[in-house]
Amino acid sequence: MPDMLKDKVAIVTGGARGNGEGIARVFAAEGAAVCLWDVLPAVSQTAERIAAAFGRPVQAWRVDIGDADRVTQAAAEVLGAFGKVDILVNNAAIAPEVPFVEMDQQVRDQVWRVNVGGTMNCTQAVLPAMIERRSGKIIVISSVTGPLTAIPGLTMYASTKGALLGFTRNLALEVAPHGINVNCILPGTIDTPLLRCSLSGGGWASDYDVAAFGRGIPWGRVGSIEEIGGVAAFLASDWSNYVTGSEIVVDGGNRLTEWGLASE
C-alpha cells in the first residue's frame, strides 16, 4: 500500500526520538507531510534526517504540550503553513521512575500535566478544524503499562496511560458524527531511549542487552519504533475509516504469558 498517506498533513508529538520518530518516519515514507512537535531541541535534527531520507516535507516545532497557549499557537502555525491537519498523533509523554510513596507532588503533577493534559491540549487545538472539514484521525499512544501490566516505580506513568484509554473511548463517541476517528495504540517493549535507559539503570543499554531482554518475549525480540509507526499509519489511513474507539496492543505477544518465556 504505497503512499497510503499521500497529501495528508500529520502532527506527531514527542517526535524527536523513540516511537514519535518511528511514526514520523513511516508517515513520511507513506507520503504525508509531517510536523514534529517536541520540547527537545533535537526535534529539528530529527526532522532534517527524515526529510532527507524520504523527500517529504518534515518540519519541527519546539512545543511543550503541557502549555495550552503554546499548543494553540503551534496548531495555528501548522494550519497557516499547510491549510489543514488530517492526523494528530498524541505520543509525547514522560516517565520518571520513582516509587509512588517517594514521589513529590511537583513530579506527580508534571507527569499528569504532560501525559494527560498535553494530549487534551493538542486534541482541543486541532479538533475545531477537523470538525469543520468533517474529517480527521486522532491517534493516542498509551502503553501496556497501566492498562494491562505494571512496573514498580512507574505508578504515576501507568495511571496516566490508563486514563488515556477512557479519553480515547469517550472522545471517539463524541466526534464520530463529525467523521473523525479516535483510536489508541498500546506499545509493549519497544527499542526506545526510555527502554535503553531503564534497562541500564539510568545509562544506555547495549544492543546485546536489548537483544537478551527481548528473548523473553514470545516473538523473540523487542519491537522497533517503525513497527509502532506501521500500526499508526494504518489508523491514520483511509483503510481504518470504520475503526474508532479501539485499542491495538503491539507487544510481540508478551501479554500472553504469565511468567514470561525462558531466556537462553
Cα 220 from chain centre: 23
**CA–CA gap between residue 246 and residue 248 (Å, rounded):** 7
User: Contact at 8 Å (CB) between 121 and 71?
Assistant: yes
What tens digit of pLDDT does each residue of 130-156 get? 999 999 999 999 999 999 999 999 999
At 12 the pLDDT is: 98
Q: Where are the domains of the chain?
A: 9-188+224-248, 192-222
The sheet carrying 58-62 orders its strands as 58-62, 33-38, 9-13, 87-90, 136-141, 180-187, 247-250
Nearest to residue 91, comparing CAs of 46, 36, 48?
A: 36
Q: What is the DSSP letter of 203?
A: S
Q: Is 157 a catalytic residue?
A: yes
At 259 the pLDDT is: 63
**CA–CA gap between residue 216 and residue 212 (Å, rounded):** 8
| Cβ neighbours of residue 40 closer than 8 Å, sequence gap 6 or more | 16, 17
Q: Which of 27, 37, 61, 157 is an active site residue?
A: 157
At 262 the pLDDT is: 44
Angle between helices 43-54 and 18-29 (to 10 degrees): 30
Going through the chain in order, the beta strands assigned E by DSSP cover 9-13, 33-38, 58-62, 87-90, 136-141, 180-187, 247-250
Using DSSP, state whether 261 is helix, strand or coil.
coil
> What does each C-alpha distance from 114 to 160, 196, 251 come to in angstroms?
9, 21, 24
Architecture of domain 9-188+224-248: 3-Layer(aba) Sandwich (3.40)
At 260 the pLDDT is: 56
**CA–CA gap between residue 45 and residue 202 (Å, rounded):** 24
Which regions of the chain are under pLDDT 50?
262-264
Whole-model pTM: value is: 0.95
